[in-house]
């Protein structure tokens, strides 16, 4: 058995069933489920971001769900620090850390490390937010392409948060994000002197199964109080550029509350946006390895719970996780 600390990663697109799989495996292996989704960190958005229910969280330890005020943007660096602390706490308690979510950059920050960037002056950050608010993301992307084409090429013109970050880094350091990425950074996650070992389960269900799941989830969210969550969030008058204000369903239900569209149209728009997002997630996971091929198990189905698997399929999943827990997996 390896004396290196081990953690399991469960990744995949929105509505693929990651949480159900994580819950089942945590019950079987004595795990602590640690959130690795950039929207589920925010408080007050339990329904809209599909955070675990109160009953599920009472069943076994869940960490980093609903812990961040929506007024404060959560960075990858912040999440990595919090996740490492929770992983070490789980390890000390004799539990298996199971990191579950859909944010690929969060997983990558653990397995590959983070780029270290010098502190950004407040005026550079304010300029980036001001340009984004005044001109919109497409115009900011055009500005970035002229000033820092290498960094701009890595970003979508609609990715407002990362565009603002890239602009503030260029303005604040005189170097672009592409430069700092090439400089290196923190390196893979470690526990003391020992690097963590990771194995990953990646969910990659068929598109039609995801589309159906997204529609069903949206209807369930409305029944569970999604409109009230959005009403409370909008009442705070937060900056619309904040990540929580752009969570799926917030813009659409906000438009309903302003009387701009009806609830049916909001659902159509939200489900379309979520579906497009899941395509980008799936593409990202296909092009970025979370672990070595021999340490990644891919499931081409949507998960409703471990009970849906046949005896042989369940045994295969348990064997895969057990090999990681025991340190018997091999890297091809």
* 182 annotated as ligand-binding: no
CA–CA distances in Å: residue 324 to residues 96, 174, 198, 274, 302: 10, 43, 8, 33, 23
Coil, strand or helix at 8: strand
To the question of whether residue 273 is assigned a binding role by annotation, the answer is no
Asked if residue 160 belongs to a known ligand binding site, the reply is no
Dihedral angle sign, alpha carbons of residues 254, 255, 257, 261: negative
- Given a contact cutoff of 8 angstroms between Cβ atoms, the answer to whether 320 and 201 are in contact is yes
Spatial distance between the Cα atoms of 323 and 329, rounded to a whole number of angstroms: 5
User: Annotated binding residue at 15?
Assistant: yes
Query: First vs last Cα of the chain: how many Å apart?
Result: 18
16 is annotated as contributing to ligand binding: yes
Is 17 annotated as contributing to ligand binding?
Answer: yes
| Alpha-carbon span 273 to 16, nearest angstrom | 16
What's 152-202 look like in SS3?
Answer: HCCCCCCCHHHHHHHHHHHHHHCCCHHHHHHHCECCCCEECCEECEEEEEE
Task: Provide the b/e sequence for 222-242 (b: ≥16 CB within 10 Å).
Answer: beeebbebbeebbeeeeeebb
Question: 190-191 and 194-195 as β-strands: parallel, antiparallel, unpaired?
Answer: antiparallel
Does 109 belong to an annotated binding site?
Answer: no
Dihedral angle computed from the Cα positions of residues 238, 241, 242 and 243, in that order, rounded to the nearest 10 degrees: 140
Which residues have a Cβ under 8 Å from the Cβ of 31 and sit 6 or more positions away?
8, 22, 25, 60, 90, 95, 96, 97, 98
| Residues of each annotated binding site for substrate | 14-19
| Residues of each annotated binding site | 12-19
| Residues of each annotated binding site for ATP | 12-19
């Amino acid at each position: 058995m390896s004396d290196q600390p081990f953690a399991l990663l469960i990744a995949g697109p929105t509505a693929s069933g990651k949480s159900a799989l994580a819950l089942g495996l945590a019950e079987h292996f004595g795990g602590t489920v640690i959130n690795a989704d950039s929207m589920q960190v925010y408080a007050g958005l339990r329904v809209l971001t599909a955070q675990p229910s109160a009953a599920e969280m009472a069943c076994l330890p869940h960490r980093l769900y609903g812990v961040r005020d929506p007024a404060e943007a959560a960075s990858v660096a912040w999440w990595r620090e919090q996740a490492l602390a929770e992983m070490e706490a789980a390890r000390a308690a004799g539990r298996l850390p199971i990191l579950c979510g859909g944010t690929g950059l969060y997983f990558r920050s653990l397995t590959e490390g983070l780029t270290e960037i010098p502190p950004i002056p407040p005026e550079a950050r304010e300029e980036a937010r001001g340009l984004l608010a005044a001109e919109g993301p497409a115009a900011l992307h055009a500005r970035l392409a002229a000033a820092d084409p290498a960094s701009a090429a890595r970003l979508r013109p609609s990715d407002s948060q990362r565009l603002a970050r890239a602009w503030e880094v260029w303005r604040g350091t005189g170097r672009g994000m592409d430069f700092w990425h090439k400089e290196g950074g923190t390196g893979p996650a470690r526990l003391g002197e020992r690097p963590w070992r990771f194995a990953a389960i990646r969910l990659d269900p068929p598109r039609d199964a995801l589309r159906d799941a997204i529609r069903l989830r949206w209807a369930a969210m409305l029944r569970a109080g999604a409109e009230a969550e959005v009403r409370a969030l909008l009442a705070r008058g937060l900056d619309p550029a904040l990540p929580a204000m752009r969570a799926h369903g917030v813009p659409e239900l906000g438009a309903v509350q302003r009387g701009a569209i009806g609830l049916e149209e909001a659902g159509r728009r939200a489900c379309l946006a979520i579906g497009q997002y899941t395509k980008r997630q799936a593409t990202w996971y296909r092009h970025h390895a979370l672990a070595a091929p021999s340490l990644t198990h891919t499931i081409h189905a949507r998960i409703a719970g471990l009970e849906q698997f046949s005896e042989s399929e369940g045994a295969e999943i348990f064997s895969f996780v057990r090999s990681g827990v025991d340190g018997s997996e091999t890297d091809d």
